[in-house]
Amino acid sequence: MPVTTIVKETQKKNVVATVIRESTIRTNYYLLLAIATLITTFGLTLDSESILIGGMLMAPLLRPILAFGLAIVTVSFKSIWRSLFGIITSVGLVLFLAYISSLVLHPGAYLTNAILARGTYSHLYLFVAILSGIGATYTLIDPKLPSALPAVAVSVSLLPPLCVSGIALAQESKVLLSNSFKVFGANLGGIIIASIFVFLIFRFKRLKRQEEKEIVRSEKEE
């Protein structure tokens, strides 16, 4: 039996509803992201992996990224712009808060091992992000599997390299800024590629109408 026939249309609609609902950008989304950013920035500065993991698990940044992958598959321009807005504003908020907190609370802070690790680029980051993105998207589709989003949040590490970019801006380090943003870009691109692949495999491309219906519903609930 082909794997794509396992998922019923009703389940696909439930997945679309979940993706849209969880990627809706509200005040509580930005509040949670802000708290996660500050925790992650402190973890980087204090060179504490346990604090970093706490910040990564709290960050909701993965949600609009998965929504963007779905929007590409359904070719819903309304959803594409919606998720792009969420991604861009999230990136801006993280950079701003990491920059300000580094400048005000940790002026002249030295580059810890945690900071340097997230400021070292490797092509392997892209492959890790693709594999993690496949796992995250697949567990969204199959209700029998536990959600992999927390594990993906840690393995892909979206927030730390972005926070390092903010720290690099505060310390005026062009090399660190460039490398850390490359790491973030590889992680972002890998998750998007993976989600597009999985949503295509499971034939979500015909659910544009359902997707836009869920967007309208989420807007009414705001």
**Tens digit of each residue's pLDDT (9 = 90 or more) over 199-219:** 999 999 998 888 888 888 887
Q: What does the pLDDT read at residue 1?
A: 44
**Residue ranges of the alpha helices (H) in 3-48?**
9-22, 27-46
**Residue ranges of the alpha helices (H) in the chain?**
9-22, 27-46, 49-58, 62-74, 77-104, 113-118, 124-141, 149-156, 159-171, 174-201, 208-221
- Residue ranges and CATH numbers for the domains of the chain are 3-208 (1.20.1080)
CB atoms within 10 A of CB 133: 30
111 has pLDDT over 60: yes
Give residue-wise pLDDT tens across range 72-100.
999 999 999 999 999 999 999 999 999 99
149 has pLDDT over 70: no
pTM for this entry: 0.89
Mean pLDDT, all residues of the chain: 87
> How many Å apart are CA 183 and CA 168, to the nearest integer?
14
| Band of residue 109 on the pLDDT scale cut at 50, 70, 90 | low
